[in-house]
């Protein structure tokens, strides 16, 4: 894994592998020769789930010297490569599609600058609940290692709801009183109710990839023993597990803002940070990748967030009416006891 170039399937093109590692000569049917400097695809992919710690995991993986993560988190390439904008009914889905990486050349550019000795990886939460993503990952990288973190589906749903409330993005029909109404955004948006129906989503991957190439973690274990889970992931990827990364930093935490002034200074949408990103992108990238700055910044951000209250009775009702049967099948699929997920 990561020790040799991988051939990329390009429809009517065929590839002739040169001795130079990570480079191919691409010859099309008209005998035109095209040189490509970056042709390696990921060795592993984190496929989800959303609101389950994958932003933090992406940052931890970036710190390991034997790993090169895509320069953009959530490119969504495998989910949308074969799609068209008219395939989506909701405007929010169309916007998400337009903002994704849709061309192979652009996707490969996300790994430009990697060392030949490094494993390549990326994180896209859309891959878990996308039928197309599983098929395209298998098409391009059938030997890829796949990682998923699964959060209790009702808690994941409420975290998504809280995120939309915090960012002012909650749909008009997204109130908690509408959660059981299947005509609302709760059911129509792919990142709300249906994102938590993990069984069918994961079964696709188990049906198409060797079981030993799939590693599934529970969010509660990731939160309670972050360093231990990350070390296990390093072992799964067959790289040095003794490397220590900054697992004390929690990225993209959900919650409601306590102090607007503090949020305007250091929050996700801070005018100061937004301006810095526009005027000095290189400095912004350096600061974003600096562990000490991140530790200070996210400590301030997280202290300024207050966890919203999730009614225990509503949580139990959501589990019983929506997720219970899926949870039971999921436990059998991944070989883990999920009985605690069925309780209030």
Which structural domains are found in the chain, ordered by start?
A: 1-39 (no CATH), 41-247 (3.40.50.300)
User: What is the predicted pLDDT for the residue at 7?
Assistant: 43
Mean pLDDT of 106-129: 96
Q: Is the pLDDT of residue 1 over 80?
A: no
pLDDT at 185 over 60: yes
- Range with top average pLDDT, 31-45, 50-64, 293-307: 50-64
Contact 196, 156 (CB under 8 A): yes
Per-residue buried b or exposed e for 101-134, using 16+ beta carbons within 10 Å of the residue's own CB: bbebeebbbbbeebeeebbbbbbbbbbbbbebbb
Asked which of 166-170, 274-278, 295-299 is least confident by mean pLDDT, the reply is 166-170
Identify which of 249, 257, 263, 331 has the alpha carbon closest to the alpha carbon of residue 292. Answer: 249
Q: How confident is the model at residue 15 (pLDDT cuts 50, 70, 90)?
A: very low
Q: What CA–CA distance (Å, rounded) separates 297 from 306?
A: 16
Mean pLDDT of the chain: 88
* pLDDT tens digits, 226-245: 999 999 999 999 999 999 99
Who's near 239: CB < 8 A, 6+ residues apart? 64, 66, 67, 119
Closest CA to 125 of 74, 81, 53, 61: 74
Give per-residue pLDDT as tens, 17-41: 333 333 433 333 333 333 345 679 9
User: What integer is the mean pLDDT of 48-77?
Assistant: 96
């Amino acid at each position: 894994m990561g020790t040799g170039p991988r051939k990329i399937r390009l429809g009517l093109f065929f590839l002739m592998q040169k001795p130079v590692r990570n480079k191919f000569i691409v010859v099309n049917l008209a005998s035109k020769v095209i040189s490509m400097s970056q042709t390696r695809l990921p060795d592993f992919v984190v496929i989800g789930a959303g609101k389950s710690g994958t932003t933090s995991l992406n940052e931890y993986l970036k710190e390991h010297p034997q790993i090169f993560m895509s320069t953009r988190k959530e490119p969504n390439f495998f989910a949308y490569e074969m799609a068209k904008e008219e395939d989506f009914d909701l405007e929010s889905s169309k916007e998400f599609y337009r903002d994704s990486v849709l061309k192979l050349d652009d996707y490969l550019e996300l790994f430009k600058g990697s060392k030949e000795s490094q494993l390549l990886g990326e994180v896209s939460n859309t891959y878990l609940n996308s039928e197309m993503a599983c098929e395209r990952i298998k098409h391009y990288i059938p030997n890829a290692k796949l990682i998923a973190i699964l959060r209790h589906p009702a808690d994941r749903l409420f975290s998504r709801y809280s995120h939309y409330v915090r960012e002012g993005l909650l749909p008009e029909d997204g109130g908690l009183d509408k959660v059981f109404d299947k005509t609302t955004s709760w059911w129509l948006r792919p990142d709300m109710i249906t994102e938590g129906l993990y069984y069918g989503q994961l079964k696709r991957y188990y049906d198409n990839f060797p079981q030993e190439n799939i590693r599934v973690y529970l969010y509660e274990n990731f939160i309670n023993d972050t360093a231990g889970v990350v070390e296990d992931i390093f072992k799964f990827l067959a790289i040095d597990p003794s490397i220590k990364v900054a697992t004390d930093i929690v990225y993209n935490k959900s919650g409601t803002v306590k102090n607007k002034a503090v949020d305007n200074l250091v929050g996700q949408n801070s005018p100061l940070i937004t301006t810095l990103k526009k005027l000095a992108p290189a400095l912004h990238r350096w600061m974003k990748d600096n562990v000490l700055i991140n530790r200070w910044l996210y400590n301030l951000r997280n202290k300024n967030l207050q966890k919203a209250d999730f009614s225990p009775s509503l949580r139990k009702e959501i589990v019983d009416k929506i997720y219970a049967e899926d949870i039971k099948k999921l436990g059998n699929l991944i070989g883990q006891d999920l009985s605690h997920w069925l309780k209030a």
